[in-house]
Amino acid sequence: MAKLRTLGAAIDELRERDPETSLTRYALRRAVLEGRVPCIMIGRKRLVDVDNVIAAFLAEGGQDNASAV
């Protein structure tokens, strides 16, 4: 089942999972507006699936950067 959250709530949930995350609400918003993270519009609110947020940023190479060091 999808965990649909507003952008702010999605960032809060990601911070609970990883308190050291550098992902900001602004960065998530930009990714949504650029189409890199899928969203559902409900009125003026954008809802994202938290698992899709993680998958989208890992697909961009977030995981590979850690192994390169």
Whole-number average pLDDT of the chain: 88
Q: Which pLDDT value is given to residue 62?
A: 57
Q: Which residues of 47-66 are buried (b: 16+ CB within 10 A; e: fewer)?
A: bbbbebbbebbeeeeeeeee
Quick one: tokens of 1? 């089942």
Kindly indicate the confidence band of residue 59, based on its pLDDT and cuts at 50, 70 and 90.
Answer: confident
Read off the pLDDT of each residue in 28-50 and give the average, rounded to a whole number: 96
Identify the residue with better confidence: 54 or 62: 54
Identity (one letter) of the amino acid at 68?
Answer: A
Domain boundaries, the chain: 4-67
